[in-house]
Structures are given as C-alpha cells and as structure tokens.
Amino acid sequence: MRGRDTWVLLATIVGSSLAFIDSAVVTLALPAIQREFHAGAADVAWIMELYTLVLGSLMLLGGALADRYGRKRIFVSGISLFTLGSIGCAFAWSIPSMLGARVVQALGGTLVAPSSLAILGAHFSGDARGRAIASWSAFGALTSTLGPALGGILIDTFGWRSVFWINVPLAAIVIAATLLHIDESRDDAAPKELDFLGAGLATASLGAITFALITASSASWHDPRVYGSMAGGVALLAVFVLREHRVSAPLVPPDIFASREFGALNLATLFLYGALGGLFYELPFAMIQAHGFNALQTALGTLPMLACLVLLARVGTVLAKRIGLRTTLTIGPAIVACGFVLLALLESGRSYVTAFLPGLLGVGIGMGFTVAPLTTGVIDSANPRHVGIASGINTAIARIAGLLFIAVAIVVLAALYNTSLDRSLDAMHASPAQLATVARQRDRLGGARYADPHLQHASIHAFDTGFRGVALSCAACAALAAAIVLVIPSGGAKAP
C-alpha cells in the first residue's frame, strides 16, 4: 500500500472512531460527572441521549451533504465541529453547558461518520477498495475495543474531562492528514434537493418521545409534560412519514420497505440493538456506583464481551452459509437473551467473575454470531438501487434504538428502584429525618450517597433490583428480535 493510501486509511479510521466510540467512553465518565454536578439520573441521561438523538436522526442527511458538497469538505467540517464540541465538554461547568457542547459534538459526528466511508470508496477502486474497507472495519472494531479501556485509564488518572481533551490532538492529526493526502470527491448525480425539513421532523419527533420517557422516570405518566410530549412526538413522526411519501428526494425512500425481509430485519435490529444500548448504558452505574469498581476496571470488564464479538464475526458469516441466515439470526439473539438473563442474576456483594462475566460472555457470543449476518441480510434484502441508503437506514435504526431504549431502561430502573427503596424504608420504620434525607437524593438513584449505612444499603439494594429488571427487559427484547427473524417467510432471508 502506498504512503498516501495509508494516510487516507488513518484519517478515516481515526476520524470515524472518534464519533463512534465516544458514547462508550463517555458512558464510563457519567458516574463521575453525576457526582461532580450533583445531578439527577434523568439529567445525566441527556448527556448520552442528546448525542445519540442528533447522530441517529441526522446521519442520513450527513451522507447526502457529503455526496453533494464534497466528502473531504464535509469530513473536515465534521471533525472540526466534533473537536469544538469536545473542548466545550471539557470546560463544562454544569449539565446545561455540557448538553450544549454535546449537541455540537453530535452535529460533527453526523458529518464524519458517513463521509469517512464515502472517502474510502472514492479514493480506492477494485480489489484495493475491498481491502481498504476491510481494514477500516477491522481497525474500527479494534478502536471500539481498546477505546473504553483508554478512557478508563484517563478517567481514573486525570478525571472525566480528560476523555474530551484527548479528542483534540487526535482530531488535529486527522485534519492534517485529510488536507494533505485526500482529494476532494463528490457525486455529481446526487439529488440537488436535500430534505432538511424531513430531518428536522425526525429529530423533533424522536426528541419529544425521548423527553417523555426520561421525564416519566421522575414524574407521573399523568404529568402533562409526559403525555403532551409523547403525543407531540407521535404526531410529528406521522407527519414525517407522510412527507417522505410526497417529496422528490426523501431521506428514507418509502419503497425501500416494500421488501418484507428488509422491514423484518430492521425491526429485529431495533429490538436487539435497543436492548444492547439500554443495558450497557446502565452497566457502568451498576459496576461503579453500586459495586465499587473504578472506571478502568469497568472498561476492562467489558473486554471479554467485545473480544467475543470481534473474534466470532467471521464465524457468524460461516454459520449463515451452512445453516441459513434465518437460523443463525434466531440462534444469535437467543444467546444474547440468555446473556442478559445471566446478568439479571446479579446480587449485591458478588465478584465480577460471578456477577458480570458469564452474562457479558453470553451477550458477546450471541452478538458475534449476529452482527455480520444481520448487516449482510439487510443489504441483500433491499432493492439493489437502494443498497447505500439501506445500509445507512440500518445504521441509523441501530443508533435510534439505543436512544429510545436507554430512555426506557431509565424508566424501568427508576420505577423498580423507588418501589424497592420504599419497601426497605417501610421495613426499617424510617424516621422523618431519614425520609427527608432520602427525598433529597432519590432522583440520583445509584449515585445517592448516605452517611447512614442502613440508608446506603437500602439504596444499593434498590439499584440492584432495578438493574435486574432492566436486564430482564433487555432479555425479552433480544428474544423478540429472534422471534421476528423466525417468522420471516421461508426463503426470504438468504445466506450471505
């Protein structure tokens, strides 16, 4: 490979990795951020949810912008925005200031993620393109595996702000490599009209639904903010769907869902990746706040799962060829569901090996069998002229699944936490002073800290109860994903 080719690969791999591993690394920092800002669980959730909301709902628009205005230009613009957002996060002095910076980060990510792969497609050709994309995927998986571990070291050594500062020198390398070694390219046949209104409707609808769910974790479902936001979100989503049927250049071509297989596999993606996102949002809180692990130990604790996912990716493809795609995509999510059930057996005081490792291995093995065949099945089930948009839609659905299911996980955990905590307070005949102390910190869930050991034990026990409920809910979603694939018409899902 020529030196210039190497720089192109380096820029696209590091650039896309900054956007994609951000969520995993920042999740590790959330317990420390919550502690420093004395924030409630719902407030901290928005640090992840806003980023995922913008990234998931605007990613398709980012790809269209790259094709129309130039992949290099959009890529550099995205990295620059992401870096400015990272600096803003590092200087954040409150939750609102952090949220504003996270939006800027996410806007950058929506430009970086789709344009990086487009740059590879434009720079390389023939067999070299296949090798470049394979390298991009392999190194992307490697950075996704090692990134959280590096984040854990930074958090434990230099504090949570360091996970944002580290993005600055990496982004500088990416921008320099891009400006010096990558030629501009664009798609002259790309639609001249861009559906900005459609993108806005999608973002607003998902944002309203997410706001309703997160607000419901600390307020009643009868609260006007909850049912009003939910109704508004559903209405905006309906308007978005109607608009996509009428505009000449829709973000999501309606006819792409004419394939039942494409629709079913994307629905399975929604439930499977949603379960994964919801559980692994709560996992660092369970390990760090409830069980005393530090950020590095928590990051290293997930490595066995990630290793299984990477090492078994090829096995999943081979299995799909031998026993069929439908069978493979039924077995894989079923194993994931079993892993979640094992995590639900968590009990306070157990070690990592007995409480977390078996479940994480189960999830990793199941996802290893599933990821590659699922992606291939989605692309193969789409109309050939929609292959590019099909891949983008599936990626966006995986992101949106995490957005929605994280909110659902927070609702489930908060409900079970409060129920369990109230039972413990009743059992110990808590005094008015104790009840007042709990009331001041109840919204912090596992992040609450009490000088009274009885209250602290009750809070940790309540969090464990909530976490078990989240894990079981995620198991049900993974099992539902397996059932959805199972009912695809015979012959509809073909092996890759």
pLDDT tens sequence across 480-495: 999 998 877 554 444 4
Same domain membership, residue 313 and residue 183? no
Please answer whether residues 387 and 377 qualify as being in contact, where contact means their C-beta atoms are separated by less than 8 angstroms.
no
pLDDT computed for residue 188 by the predictor? 64
Q: Is residue 426 part of a domain?
A: yes
Rounded to an integer, the average pLDDT of 403-419 is 86
Residues 132 and 237 reside in one and the same domain: no
Mean predicted confidence (pLDDT) in 185-191: 65
321 falls within a domain: yes
What was the pLDDT predicted at 495?
44
Greater confidence, 384 or 212?
212
Higher pLDDT, 401 or 114: 401
H/E segment holding residue 484 = helix 453-486
Residues 264, 351: one domain? yes
Amino acid symbol at 13: I
Sign, Cα dihedral of 86, 88, 93, 96: negative
Q: Are residues 488 and 428 in the same domain?
A: yes
Q: Are residues 218 and 176 in the same domain?
A: no
Question: Residues 441, 396: one domain?
Answer: yes
Q: How far apart are CA 242 and CA 233, in angstroms?
A: 14
Q: How far apart are CA 356 and CA 464, in angstroms?
A: 13
Is residue 156, in this structure, part of any structural domain at all? yes
Residues 18, 179: Cα–Cα separation, whole Å? 18
Domain interval for residue 72: 1-193
**Rounded distance, CA 59 to CA 113, Å?**
8
Same domain membership, residue 155 and residue 85: yes
Q: Domain containing 288 — which CATH number?
A: 1.20.1250.20
Q: How would DSSP label each residue in 282-338?
A: HHHIIIIIIT---HHHHHHHTHHHHHHHHHTHHHHHHHHHHH-HHHHHHHHHHHHHH
Model confidence band, residue 88 (pLDDT cutoffs 50, 70, 90):
very high
Q: Report whether pLDDT(496) > 60.
A: no
Look up the pTM and report it. 0.80
Same domain, 241 and 390: no
Mean pLDDT is highest, among 139-148, 293-302, 476-485, for 476-485
Query: Is residue 181 included in any domain, yes or no?
Result: yes
Residue 251 belongs to some domain of the structure: no
The answer to whether residue 281 scores a pLDDT higher than 80 is yes
Beta carbons of 117 and 16 less than 8 angstroms apart:
yes
- Using alpha carbons, list the distances in angstroms from residue 115 to 6, 76, 149, 160, 247: 17, 10, 27, 29, 24
Residue 25 confidence (pLDDT): 83
Per the structure, how many domains does the chain have?
A: 3
Do 200 and 189 sit in the same domain of this protein?
A: no
| Per-residue model confidence (pLDDT) at position 57 | 76
pLDDT at 101: 94
464: confidence class by pLDDT, cuts 50, 70, 90: confident
- Cα–Cα distances (Å) from 21 to 148, 167, 201, 416, 427, in that order, read 8, 11, 27, 30, 44
Same domain, 161 and 235: no
Classify residue 45: in a domain, yes or no.
yes
Task: Count the Cβ atoms, other than its own, within 10 Å of residue 492.
Answer: 17
The pLDDT, as a whole number, for residue 103 is 92
Last residue of a domain, one of 208, 227, 246: 246
Q: Do 300 and 225 share a structural domain?
A: no
Averaged pLDDT, 64-74: 81
**Each residue of 6-31: pLDDT tens digit?**
888 888 888 888 877 777 788 888 88
Both structure tokens of 314? 């090829």
380 within domain boundaries: yes
Per-residue pLDDT of 247-257, as tens digits, reads 777 777 777 67
